[in-house]
Each structure stands twice: as C-alpha cells, then as structure tokens.
C-alpha cells in the first residue's frame, strides 16, 4: 500500500508539471531537464504508468520545440491560431464595453506579457504568442585573430628556466699567412644566459546555475577568455620589460633601426616603404633573412595609401597583393603593435617561445565562499618563456624618428 501511495504521489507531481507547461505554453530548459530526469529516475517504480508519462512529456517537449502554443486542454493551437484568438477575444470585450468593433494590433503585443492571464470565451490572452528565438553564443567586440606566437618557433620545456649559451663577443683572426708565419688568434666570448618561465593568467567567477543552464558558457570561456590571455601574451612578446613577472620582449632586445638614407645613400624624402625596406636590409647585413614585418593597422593604411604630388599611389603594385611584401618580407598589420612602431626580423632564427604549461582552463568552487554561494571560479593560465637567442635578428624602430633622420 505504501508503494502505491508513493507511485500516486509521483504520478500526480509529474502530471501536474506537464499540465502546467501545457497551460503556460512555455518552459525553461532547466525545468524540462529536471522533469525528464525525474521520470527516468522513477522508471522502475512507476511500472506500467511510466510509458504514459513519458509519452505525455515527449509530446509536450516536441510541441514546444516547434513553437506550438497550448491553451488549457487544447494543445493544437499554433501561433497563427493564437493571434486570431486574441483578435476575437478583444473584439468581444469591445462589444461588451460598447466600443465600436475595430481591431488595432501593435507588434509589441506579440512579445509583451500581461500582468495576468485574461480569458474570454475560452481564449487565452496575455501570454507570449510568439516565443523569442534565442541565438547561440555571446555577442561582443571581436578579439585579435592573429597572434605573434603564430610566427615564432615554439617548444615545450620541463623546467622553470631556460639556459643557453650566447656568443657575446668575438675576435676573428682568420687570414692568409706566409710560409713559416704564425697564424693569428681567434677568440670567442660565450656567456651562459638564463631565461625564466613567467606565468600569465586571469580568472572569472560565474554561478553554478549559469554553467548548468547556459550551453554557450563553455564556448565563451574557451574563446573569449583564452583570446584575452593571448592578447596579453602578444604584448609581453613585443614589449615585456623583464621586470618580474614580465617577459623580456623583443623591443628591449632587438637592434634599433639604423638610418640607411644618409650620406651617399641620402634621398630627398623617405616614406614608410623606404623605412621598412631599410629595416629588412639591416637584418640582411647581419646575415639574417628577415621574413616578417609587424606594423599597426593604421600605419599599414598610411603606407599603402600614400600618394605623390600628382595623386598617384607611391608603392609598387605587389604591395596590394596577398601577401603584402616589402623587400621580400611579409608585412603583417596587427593591433599587438603600438601605432608608430615597427618590428622586422628573422623570426625563424631569432627566437623561440617555450611553454612550461600550455594554456589551461580550470574550474573550481574552492575559492573564497564560492561553495556556499554556488559560484564557480574559472582560472585561465599559462607558463611561458621567450628565448631570444639572436637579438640582432630583429630590428625595432618608430616611424616618426626614422622619417626625421632620413629626410
């Protein structure tokens, strides 16, 4: 007997929930998930009553997904039927109030929910006849699509520091000698150099309900938050000052731009194209093969739209092709570079980004009082080291100073 009472209680509870959904014509995903789980959990206890409840629930869920509207025991009304019912119901109300029969229908009546449900002649009024369409994801300003790490060698490391030998000086004594003459001495100064692994991270706190009920949260974290971390990494690779906990960026290790347009090589005026070509030449003089040049998008635009006194574009046609090349080095317009700066270099030979821990996303409720409040902390972090073992492979400069010194 006790079991039968328990079954009756469960059947009534589930049935009431299904009827409530039919009456309201709407249900949250979380509500449907809970009800579905309750039916499944009690399958063995419900016995032959399980199939009926399952069938009712599945029908309600299917109709909801198709945008159907329910009204009491009538579960066949569509959105179109509902609008007609509203018109008829309002017309009847106007007749009773002595108002001339003319129907005015505003679009927002389809989306605005009344304070309560008003019925007239069996027609349900005041509910949302057109349920809104929810678009997936979160809409925000776009993040940087291309990152500096995509142009640098990468490798894994199992330590918190990178040690390498750097040639810091040399004396070349190689020469031709006469018979019986002593050879000249060559000297090299090799310095053990250490680069420390640094940590980049951030965290955010979200509710447990949001994690469970919003399918888009995982994708948002994996793209939006990770994207912000990579933007910070870009800044460190280019501009880090090596003051703990910062990396030592390229700006503070690269050779500074040398003005090639002075003395015998002087020309009446120089432009951005000339400057970047000179930066590539500077790398080649050091026996490197510069393959990339990074500039800010605004400077890139200034370069490609420059015109002469006759209104003609100054730069050769190949600059407008894909990819844009200057002196055989590809020009990359990227917001990681400060406006007015430029970086040119041999990114194949000059540096390596070593990662102790690649980007990790960790979820935990063990933070402050998250456990009792139902919050989850999401930690996004990485541990990396930038090893610039050939600093002269890179050339850094600013357009303003380069233009002033070369004109």
What is the DSSP secondary-structure string of 106-151? -GGGGTPPPSS-EEETTEEESS-SSPPPPPSS---PPPPSS-GGGG
Give 10-residue mean pLDDT values along the chain (407 residues): 73 82 69 77 78 82 62 43 46 45 36 39 49 72 90 93 86 89 90 92 84 68 84 96 95 92 73 92 95 96 84 68 84 96 96 92 83 86 94 96 78
Q: What is the pLDDT of residue 318?
A: 55
3-state helix, strand, coil in the chain (%, to 5): 40, 25, 35
Cβ neighbourhood burial of 247 (10 Å; 0-12, 13-18, 19+): buried
In terms of domains, do 149 and 92 share one? no
In terms of domains, do 226 and 141 share one? yes
Evaluate whether residue 130 is within a structural domain.
Answer: no
Evaluate whether residue 131 is within a structural domain.
Answer: no
* End residue of a domain, out of 125, 150, 165: 125
Q: What is the pLDDT of residue 158?
A: 92
Rounded Cα–Cα distance for residues 149 and 156 (Å): 13
* End residue of a domain, out of 87, 103, 125: 125
Evaluate whether residue 301 is within a structural domain.
Answer: yes
Q: What is the pLDDT of residue 348?
A: 93
Q: What is the pLDDT of residue 361?
A: 84
In terms of domains, do 290 and 389 share one? yes
Distances (CA, A) of 168 to 29, 171, 177, 241, 288: 65, 11, 28, 21, 17
Evaluate whether residue 178 is within a structural domain.
Answer: no
Q: Which two tokens stand for residue 101?
A: 């029969």
In terms of domains, do 239 and 385 share one? yes
In terms of domains, do 349 and 263 share one? yes
For the chain, what is the domain count? 2
CA 342, 296, 350: angle at the middle one, nearest 5?
Answer: 40
In terms of domains, do 77 and 160 share one? no
Evaluate whether residue 230 is within a structural domain.
Answer: yes
Evaluate whether residue 353 is within a structural domain.
Answer: yes
In terms of domains, do 347 and 398 share one? yes
Evaluate whether residue 349 is within a structural domain.
Answer: yes
The kind and range of the H/E element at 32 are: helix 29-41
Give me the CATH number covering residue 294: 3.30.2400.10
Rounded Cα–Cα distance for residues 361 and 407 (Å): 51
In terms of domains, do 108 and 196 share one? no
Query: Which residues constitute the domain of residue 45?
Result: 2-125
**54-61: long-range contacts (C-beta < 8 A, 24 or more apart)?**
56/15, 56/18, 57/14, 57/18, 60/18, 60/21, 60/22, 60/27, 61/32, 61/36
Q: What is the pLDDT of residue 407?
A: 55
Kindly give, in sequence order, each residue whose CB lies less than 8 Å from that of residue 93, ignoring residues fewer than 6 positions away. 120
In terms of domains, do 165 and 255 share one? yes
In terms of domains, do 233 and 302 share one? yes
Give the residue carrying structure tokens 């003609």: 312
In terms of domains, do 111 and 160 share one? no
In terms of domains, do 337 and 380 share one? yes
The DSSP symbol for 287 reads T
């Amino acid at each position: 007997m006790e079991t039968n009472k328990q079954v009756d209680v469960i059947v009534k509870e589930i049935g009431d929930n299904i009827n409530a959904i039919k009456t309201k014509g709407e249900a949250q995903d979380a509500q449907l998930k809970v009800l579905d789980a309750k039916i499944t959990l009690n399958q063995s206890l419900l016995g032959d009553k399980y199939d009926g409840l399952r069938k009712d629930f599945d029908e309600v869920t299917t109709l909801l997904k198709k945008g159907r509207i329910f009204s009491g025991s009538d579960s066949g009304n569509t959105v179109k039927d509902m609008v007609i019912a509203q018109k008829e119901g309002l017309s009847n109300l106007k007749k009773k109030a002595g108002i001339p029969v003319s129907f005015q229908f505003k679009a927002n009546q389809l989306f605005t929910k009344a304070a309560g449900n008003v019925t007239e002649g069996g027609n349900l009024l005041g509910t949302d006849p057109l349920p809104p369409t929810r678009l997936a994801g979160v809409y925000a300003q776009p993040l940087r699509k291309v990152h500096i790490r995509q142009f640098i060698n990468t490798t894994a490391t199992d330590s918190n520091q990178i040690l390498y030998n750097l040639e810091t000086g040399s004396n070349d004594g190689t020469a031709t000698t006469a018979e019986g003459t002593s050879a000249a001495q060559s000297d090299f100064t090799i310095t053990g150099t250490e680069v420390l692994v640094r940590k980049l991270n951030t965290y955010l706190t979200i509710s447990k309900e949001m994690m469970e009920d919003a399918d888009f949260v995982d994708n948002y974290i994996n793209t939006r938050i990770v994207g912000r971390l990579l933007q910070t990494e870009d800044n460190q690779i280019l501009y880090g000052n090596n003051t703990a906990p910062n990396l030592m960026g390229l700006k503070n290790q690269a050779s500074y731009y040398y003005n090639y347009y002075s003395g015998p090589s002087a020309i009446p005026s120089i432009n951005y194209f000339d400057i970047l070509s000179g930066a590539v030449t500077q790398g080649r003089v050091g026996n490197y093969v510069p393959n990339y040049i990074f500039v800010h998008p605004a400077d890139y635009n200034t370069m490609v739209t420059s015109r002469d006194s006759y209104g003609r574009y100054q730069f050769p046609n190949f600059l407008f092709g894909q990819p844009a090349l200057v002196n055989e080095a590809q020009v990359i317009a990227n917001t990681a570079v400060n406006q007015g700066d430029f970086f040119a270099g041999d990114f194949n030979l000059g540096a390596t980004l070593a990662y102790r821990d690649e980007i990790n996303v960790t979820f935990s409720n063990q933070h402050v009082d998250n456990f009792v409040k139902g919050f989850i902390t999401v930690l996004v972090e990485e541990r990396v080291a930038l090893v610039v073992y050939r600093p002269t492979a890179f050339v850094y400069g600013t357009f303003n100073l380069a233009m002033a010194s070369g004109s």
